[in-house]
Structure 1
Amino acid sequence: MKSVFEIAYRYLIPAIRREIVKMLIRRGFMEIEIARLLNISHSLVSRYLSGERGYNIDLSRYRDVMEKIERVVDRIAKKDIDFYQIYEEIDRIALYALSNRYLCSTHKAIEPYIDISKCNICSNLFSQQKVIGLISII
């Protein structure tokens, strides 16, 4: 079975970044400017926009996730967030999505033998209380 971290890295993080790129384009940002802000290649920005990258998960199904992404984009547009904070927020959104089991169907599509009704790995690992508890253990 693939690790939840691999699923997040290969599918969820690119989907979040794709939504950020699309929202910034709608706000009038140029592709090259977006590449600089997110510290990614101009080519990757183009692939996000063309649907070649970050397309496996339709985040628009999750209004709460889209609102969180929109808030990050608001801060980017206001220049109220630096590069490190952008990626911290992307990771927070990813943790939120994982804790709410939003990737279960994607994981099932990748590995059909998984019984998502029995799997609680993400919700167990990434619920806010569990994360705080894990941090206090370390």
Structure 2
Amino acid sequence: MRTNAFEVASRYVYPSLRRRLVEILREKGLKQVEIAELLHITQSAVSRYLGMDRGALVDVSRYPDIDGELRSLVEEVIERKPDEYYIHRRLVEISLEMLGKGYVCSFHSKIDPEVNPEECRVCLELFG
């Protein structure tokens, strides 16, 4: 295994979760500048997420439970306007949840052919 689970989470899953947050905020009618302020990121980053130039490799919207958690987080962000550390913590928690449920296994095996999802139980046992 050349690419470990934490690398997959930080390089692919986390950015994809953030991209989905941006998409959901956009669906609510917010402008890029407003989204950037709420998420404590640059307007340029928002633009790259929306343009699928960042965080586009894992489609987290295909997991209804994860998408539901992100939608709940969006409501919190809009209502409470939490600091960047709270948002980061929640995204890390959701990333670990995705690992623990095995949602990332097939993607991991695509980027690292040495990973055999049938044999590897690292994430399921650690985070499941």
Q: Structure 2-normalised TM-score? A: 0.93
Q: CA RMSD in A?
A: 1.2
- Mind listing any 5+ residue stretches in structure 2 that lack a counterpart? none
After TM superposition, where is structure 1 displaced by more than 6 Å over at least 4 residues in a row?
Answer: none
Partner of 1:87: 88
What is the SS of the residue equivalent to 2:80?
coil
Distance 2:82 2:70 in 1: 13
Distance 1:61 1:24 in 2: 18
Partner of 1:8: 9
- Mind listing any 5+ residue stretches in structure 1 that lack a counterpart? 128-138
Partner of 1:50: 51
One-letter code of the match for 2:21? I
Partner of 1:136: none
Deviation at 1:114, TM superposition (A): 1.6
Q: 1:26-79 deviations in whole A, cap 9, x for unaligned? A: 112221122222222211111100111111001121100000000000111112
Distance 1:39 1:81, change over 3 A: closer
Identity %: 37
Distance 1:110 1:8 in 2: 12
Q: Structure 1-normalised TM-score? A: 0.86
Partner of 1:125: 126
Q: Where do residues 1-138 of structure 1 align in structure 2 (5 Å cutoff)?
A: 1-79=2-80, 81-127=82-128
Q: How many residues align?
A: 127
Distance 2:28 2:114 in 1: 42
What is the SS of the residue equivalent to 1:18?
helix
Farther-moved stretch of structure 1 (32-41 vs 62-71): 32-41
Distance 1:94 1:105, change over 3 A: same
